[in-house]
Amino acid sequence: MKIWFTGILWLLWAPLALAWGDMDEDGVPDLKDACGDTPLGLAVYANGCSKMPLSQLCLPASGGGVFPDNCAAPTSVVVHFPTGSAALPQSQWSVLADIARFLKTYPSARMALAGHADDRGSDAINVPLSLARADAVKRVLVDDYGIAAERLMVSGEGSSMPVSSEQGEKGKYLNRRVEFVIKNE
């Protein structure tokens, strides 16, 4: 009887406990977080996206600089993916909307989309998967937001450039990403 009761309690409470996971620790549950990678301490809206106005968006530029030139430090803007997938989660579309507005604000800017993977799988799997992730982001920016395809260059880096330890699911989640870098002419 006790085992049955414990099982029933788990079935009732597990969805509530799992629904309140918060990978980026911004106070917004992952199931409701449209921007699942906000930096620690950044003020966010109820949907988990940064309250930083678009005019303050500052992206890294190739060669180590930032764009636009008048900003101080690059803003971390990335799109994250599920394990083993290049399907763009709906929760990440708000990031692409911000990137599209940014590119429309700076119509001469060209951007590199670098896809990455966590360390699960071999390079033979991760390099094409990371390239497919970058292609998926490019497809949305071109097809849904009208950004010219020639302004966007894609690459697949595989698992060669992690931003976090691969210990645990949070680190793996942070490494499954597409990063945005402005290409200097």
Does position 53 have pLDDT exceeding 60, yes or no?
Answer: no
Is omega for the bond preceding 68 within 30 degrees of 0, making it cis?
A: yes
Distance of alpha carbon 117 from alpha carbon 131, whole angstroms: 9
Beta bridge partners of 50: 44
- Model confidence at 172, pLDDT cuts 50, 70, 90, reads confident
Q: What is the pLDDT of residue 28?
A: 77
Residue 85 has pLDDT above 60, yes or no: yes
Residue 139 C-alpha from the chain's centroid: 16
Q: Is residue 121 a contact partner of residue 129, using CB atoms and an 8 Å limit?
A: yes
Q: Which domains does the chain have, with CATH numbers?
A: 52-183 (3.30.1330.60)
Three-class DSSP category at 92: helix
Q: What is the pLDDT of residues 16-47, one digit of tens each?
A: 555 567 777 777 777 767 676 666 556 677 66
For residue 172, CA distances in Å to 33, 50, 58, 81, 98 come to: 18, 22, 25, 10, 24
Residue 78 pLDDT more than 70?
yes
Sign of CA dihedral 144, 149, 153, 155: positive
Length of the chain in terms of residues written: 185
Confidence category of residue 1, pLDDT binned at 50, 70, 90? low
pLDDT-derived band of residue 7, with 50, 70 and 90 as boundaries?
Answer: low
Closest CA to 96 of 64, 142, 150: 142
Average pLDDT, the chain: 82
Residue 43 is classified by DSSP as -
Please, are residues 114 and 155 in contact by the beta-carbon 8 Å criterion? yes
Which pLDDT score, from 0 to 100, does residue 12 have? 57
pLDDT at residue 177 above 90?
yes
What proportion of the chain, given as a percentage, has pLDDT over 90? 40
* Token representation of residue 71: 């900003």
CB atoms within 10 A of CB 42: 15
Distance separating the N- and C-terminal Cα atoms of the chain? 71
The pLDDT value given to residue 111: 96
- With b for 16 or more beta-carbon neighbours within 10 A and e for fewer, the 98-115 pattern comes to bbbebbeeeeebbbbbbb
